[in-house]
Copies of this chain bind each other. A is one copy, B any other.
Amino acid sequence: MAEFRPGSADQDEFLVELTKAGLLVESGIPGVYGRGTDFERVRLGFDSLVAAAAVGDDAERLSFSPLLPRRQIEELGYLNSFPHLAGTIFAFDGDEAQAAEQATVASAGGDWSGFQSMSDLCLTPAVCYPVYPAIAARGKLPAGGVTIDTGGSYAFRHEPSGDPARLQMFHMHELVRIAEPETVVEWRDGWRDRALELLRGVGLDANFDVANDPFFGRTGRMLARSQRSQELKFEILCDITEPEPTAIASFNYHQDHFSGTYGLEMEDPDTPAHTACLGFGLERITLALLRTHGLDPSGWPEDVRDKLSLG
């Protein structure tokens, strides 16, 4: 199994504070927590703030469950880039005798993996993945393309960690832009400023940087360098815990990667369709707010409480 990455002293301490305050609830598995009343109010408050900001983009809401057809991660090359982060769903397909044997082995704490077989589903590693084939199925895109608002939706990454900001399943509120290359780049650059404004507007010391994805292995280091040099990924960072800032929002410009895989095309045959997405990490933003303003939202600055509808 994926190696557990221990938290720093500061991260361990923050997690203890969060659970003591009932903001998070331990499940016994690192990176898997329940979320208490105040945590949820803040998370949903920021979620609504993003949705309201997206209204100006004439964004269309399109939401998906955390289940992704397995063939999508096979087609997309995800297993080349992030094999260590993927989660696949297995299920039982036997008869009554096998079911009884499976249950006996499982309740005795034995290894019952042999009774499970791979289903046609995996967990969504990125909230925007199901959007591309759904839009491609509609046919060619008119000039100006589309903007999709996924709402706050779950993504899975198999990376157990002691850092409370590194969850195995978390909400990303994503906006996805599919259009002409220059339209997509302009949208991304505009949102870089709007996202910073949104995050600074609730009192976060948020800053922008060029970034790369956590590609796997030696080949991955090359991919990461190329992604950086082309400035295809931006992040907005905020100090939550020592020793380093945490990415609380990220922007990915995929150029024609998804268009090529799913056949996304503009009506104008001379213009390729490009894609970009912007994701707000809702649990991380909630943690950044708790660290910045304190663990009790009732004492937060009035303007922050107003913006987050904490009434």
Contact = CB atoms under 8 A, between A and B. Distances in A.
Contact of A91 (B60, B87, B106): B87
Given A134-B25, A169-B67, A217-B99, A158 B91 contact: yes
A143 interface: no
Contacts of A216: 96, 99
A65 B91 CA distance: 19
A103 B90 contact: no
What does DSSP make chain A's interface, helix, strand, loop or mixed? Answer: mixed
Interface in A21-62: 25-29, 32, 34-37, 40-41, 60-62
B32 A119 contact: no
B79 A103 contact: yes
Interface stretch (A109-117, A243-251, A286-294): A109-117
A275 interface: no
Contact of A87 (B27, B90, B109): B90
A104 to B, nearest CB: 9
Contact of A29 (B25, B75, B121, B156): B121
A36 B62 contact: yes
Contacts of A113: 88, 90, 117-118
Given A28-B69, A79-B102, A34 B121 contact: no
Copy tally for this chain in the complex stands at 2
B118 A116 contact: yes
A83 interface: yes
A117 B61 contact: no
A65 B168 CA distance: 9
A62 B25 contact: yes
A7 interface: no
A32 B91 contact: no
A219 B116 CA distance: 21
A95 to B, nearest CB: 8
A204 to B, nearest CB: 23
A80 interface: yes
A63 interface: yes
B91 A90 contact: no
A282 to B, nearest CB: 12
A35 to B, nearest CB: 5
10 contacts: A26-B137, A27-B133, A34-B64, A34-B131, A36-B62, A65-B168, A74-B109, A77-B107, A83-B103, A89-B89
Interface of A: 1-2, 25-29, 32, 34-37, 40-41, 60-69, 71, 73-75, 77, 79-80, 83-84, 86-94, 96, 99-100, 102-103, 106-107, 109, 111-113, 116-121, 123, 130-131, 133-134, 137, 151, 154, 156, 158, 167-170, 216-219
